[in-house]
Structures are given as structure tokens and as C-alpha cells.
Amino acid sequence: MHPAYSVIFLTTLIGVGQGLFLALYTGQVYSLANLLPAQDSQGFYAIGSVVSLVLLVGGLIASFFHLGHPERAWRAASKWRTSWLSREVIVLPAFMSLVALYALTHYFGLTTPLFTVADTLAVDVTLIIGLLASVLAFVLFLCTAMIYASVKFLQEWHCALTVSNYMLLGIASGFMLAAAFSAYMGIDLVAFFGTWAVIFTLMALVSRGASLIRNRRLRHKVSLKSAIGMRHSQMQQKAQGFMGGSFNTREFFHGSSPNRVKLIRYLFLLLVFPLPVLLVGVSHVMESPNLPILAFLSQYLGLIAERWYFFAEAKHPQNLYYQTVS
């Protein structure tokens, strides 16, 4: 498939935004349960939620560059009963609204406890809003991933690993950003968020590695023989059927050499997994406020490469006809 940069930035930006919010909410729950020191609600959680919202808005804006008629974007929500894309279009603004409300309630200090759970956890309005937003964050991960995992004829995507990859990579990058944000704000939560970022990054490595191994072993169901109904042992395509380019040649094939695709695979494996983990570990030893920020930047650049590879790896059946030129 041809990797559209608008979709690459859409999926990576909203993934980081979702992960960052989940990290912030996790920190708040730990703090209210007296497992972490209490943080300044107006400063840390409010500003962090705004950062999450900016990332979500950035992803939404990027998606419009993928539309032929952006003014008709609202129609995408009309098929919510059958389309995962329509469900994503509905869930994303709902999640953004709750993140904005979460930021506002923290900013205005609406943190008076409503009741207490088990004489330990003081529940206020921000905790309830955060819980609802967290549920929508996971629903949004599911909707985004299922847009691709539900496409049966693209075997590289059609598996549960696509869902786990989107979810784990988004959460890992979000916690990595939370560690970087804590370091930038001078908040003593870098080790907490950094530890969870490493855990989720390693989980994502297992999941993404499993998908790479699976896809290398795939035996595609469609071939030239099945396409034209002939069983000849030796068949080769010699022409693409027309002399100029077309929508088919542009949108369903990446146009890159096998060596470039392999290089991008090695690049994202390095930038997403071992490098940020190493930087977080070194930052803990050296107590550096800059290395967590560098770790997040490394991981996000790797995520762009990973998402490019995700699209390029998928082999559309139509390429049996249109990607060979005599």
C-alpha cells in the first residue's frame, strides 16, 4: 500500500495524545491513593491535558489532508453501524471533549471530594471525567486499529496483532511523553512514568515483533494463477495494462525499493524500542532532565517510520496487475 503521510500523522499523533492522557490519569489515581506524592492540579494535570488535546487536534487536522472533499467530512459518521471509520469519527471528538473538560476542571480547581472509596481513594469530579475519558481512549484505539484489521484481503493487517500494536505503541509513546513532560515541568514523576513507558515499550516490542514474524511467513491466497483461473506452472506479468500512471499505481503501491523498505524497518525497530529504553535508563542514573525528552523524540520519529512500514508492508492484490512495466 501507499503510505499517506496524513494518515501516518493522524494515527501517531492521536495515539500519543491518548497515551499521554492515560498516563496523566494513572498518575492522578496513584496520587489520590497515596501511592505517589500529590501534584499541583492546576499546573501539571491541566497543562498536560492541554498538551494531549493539542496532539489530538493536530491528528484531526492531518486527517483532513487525506480527504478529497473536506467539506463532506461530516458524512463519515453516517455509517456507524457497519464502519469502524465512522465509529472513530464519532469517538474521537467525544474523547477530545472529555479531555478538554478534564483540563478545565483541574484548571478551576474543581477537586473537592464527592465520596471516598475504601477510606483511601477520594473521588472528585475530575476522577469521574477521567474515567469516562479513559474508557473512550481505549475505544478509540480499537476503532482506529480495526479500520485496518477488518480488511480481510490485506492479510498483513487482518489479525489481532494490529489492534494490540496500535494500542501498546500509543500507550508506550504517551507514557514516554509523560516522563518527558514531568522532566520539563520539574515534577518528581519522571521515574514513575519512565518505568511504565519502558514496560509498555517492551510489551509493544513483543507484539510488533510477533506481527513482523507472522507477516514474513504469510502465504498469500491471491496469485496470478487464482486471479485469472489458470494453473500453468510458470506465469509472469510483463505489462501493467496501460502506459501512464493511474490511481491504482499511485494509491496501492509505495514505489520504494526492497532495500529502502528494509532500511525503514531497521530504523523504526531501533528508534521505537531499544534507543528510548536506553535513554530513559541513562536519565534515571544520571538524573538528566533532557534525556527523557530525547527519548520521546526518538520514539515518535520511530513511530512515523513504523507507521510508514505498516502501510508499505501490506500487499494489495491489485498490484498483481499494475506494478510491472514491460
CA distance 6 to 10: 6
165 contacts 145 by C-beta, under 8 angstroms? yes
Of 94, 97, 76, 99, nearest to 86 (Cα)? 76
CATH of the domain at 120: 1.20.1630.10
Lookup: cell for 12: 501517531
Q: Residue 77: count other Cβ atoms within 10 Å of its Cβ.
A: 15
Lookup: cell for 225: 494463477
279 contacts 301 by C-beta, under 8 angstroms? no
273-280, Cβ contacts within 8 angstroms, sequence gap of 24 or more = 273/201, 273/202, 273/204, 273/205, 273/302, 275/299, 275/302, 276/176, 276/197, 276/201, 276/302, 277/198, 277/201, 277/202, 280/176, 280/179, 280/194, 280/197, 280/198
231 contacts 199 by C-beta, under 8 angstroms? no
Render pLDDT for 271-304 as a digit per residue (tens, 0 to 9): 999 999 999 999 988 888 899 999 999 999 999 9
pLDDT by residue for the chain (326 residues), tens digit each?
778 899 999 999 999 999 999 999 999 999 988 888 877 767 899 999 999 999 999 999 998 887 767 767 777 788 888 999 999 999 999 999 999 999 999 999 888 888 888 777 788 899 999 999 999 999 999 999 999 999 998 889 999 999 999 999 999 999 999 999 999 999 889 999 999 999 999 999 999 999 999 999 888 777 667 766 777 777 776 666 666 666 777 777 787 888 999 999 999 999 999 999 999 999 988 888 899 999 999 999 999 999 999 999 988 777 766 655 54
Place of cell 471530594: 113
Of 212, 241, 192, 229, nearest to 310 (Cα)? 212
* pLDDT value, residue 3: 82
Give the chain's domain count: 1
Computed on alpha carbons and rounded to an integer, the radius of gyration of the chain in Å comes to: 22
* pLDDT value, residue 110: 87
* pLDDT value, residue 326: 42
CA distances 172 to 127, 222, 317, Å, are 22, 36, 33
Burial 148-173, CB ≥16 within 10 A → b, else e = bbebeebbbbebebbbbbbbbbbbbb
Domain range spanning residue 271?
A: 5-322
121 contacts 33 by C-beta, under 8 angstroms? yes
* pLDDT value, residue 323: 59
* pLDDT value, residue 105: 95
pTM for the full predicted model: 0.92
Coil/strand/helix, residue 205 = helix
> Torsion angle of alpha carbons 85, 86, 87, 91, nearest 10°?
100
* pLDDT value, residue 304: 97
